[in-house]
Amino acid sequence: MAEIHRTTMAPTKLELLARWLPTRHWYSGAESPVLSKSGGFRLDDPAGEVGIELMVVTDASGAEPVAYLIPMTYRGARAEDLDHALIGTSEHGVLGLRWLYDATYDTVFIEQAALLLTGKATAQAQSTSNTPDLSVHVVPGDILWPAPGFRPTVIDTDTHTDIAFDSDRSTNAGAELIRVHRRLTTGPALQRDRSHVDALWSAADGSSSRGVFLSAP
């Protein structure tokens, strides 16, 4: 279980994301985002080495606020194979220098997201240690464990990011797919026979919204 520390980060996550978001294909706001934290949850790394957070941020820089889902991994050392996915570095008040990565490229996140979509991992509260987040709903499917040594293929679109990878049930490269819904909406739920994860986030006025975070198209 990940331990949540009540401490500071410099620069903050929102400061790092404000610089990073305008470089993303699926970002639709202004050149200088106006961000607030709006929700999310965490996943555990069984090895206890990598922090995994699915953070929702709301950008108020455009005509209407837009909620974005940003999965991130936090590491205590640089991962050279993830240099292209680096969001930034930050000094953590307890853990020291941390490297923050776009988790869609990080195999630790992909493995745990696949297990979550299969119903074999549990979403954890974003801000409380050792506490399952019971507000996160999972319709499990049959995505299986990624194949040993797999390397993901990541495809960004205007609204989502698709992660293709090899699994232990198929010899076809990129046979499995996890979709990260980047621009969150409260539209109709997915068909119940499609594996997906839905969760809550908060609007600026304090009202709650629920929508799909992850799915297996």
pLDDT for residue 187: 64
Select from 65, 61, 71 the least CA-distant residue to 32.
Answer: 61
Three-class SS of residue 51? strand
- Count of CB atoms within 10 A of residue 70's CB? 23
The string of pLDDT tens digits covering residues 156-178 is 999 999 999 988 766 566 678 99
The string of pLDDT tens digits covering residues 70-122 is 999 999 999 999 999 999 999 976 677 999 999 999 999 999 999 999 999 99
The string of pLDDT tens digits covering residues 34-48 is 999 999 999 999 999
- Please give the average per-residue pLDDT across 44-71, as a whole number: 95
Three-class SS of residue 6? coil
Say how far apart CA 160 and CA 78 lie, in whole Å.
26
Tokens of 74: 């936090």
Q: Is the pLDDT assigned to residue 28 strictly greater than 90? A: yes
The single residue listed with the structure tokens 């953070």 is 55
pTM of the predicted structure, to 2 decimals? 0.92
Are the CB atoms for 215 and 179 separated by under 8 Å?
Answer: yes
Select from 48, 40, 44, 45 the least CA-distant residue to 14.
Answer: 40
Domain ranges of the chain: 9-22+34-215
Q: Is the pLDDT assigned to residue 59 strictly greater than 80? A: yes
**Residue 61 — pLDDT band, cuts 50, 70, 90?**
very high
pLDDT, mean over the chain = 89
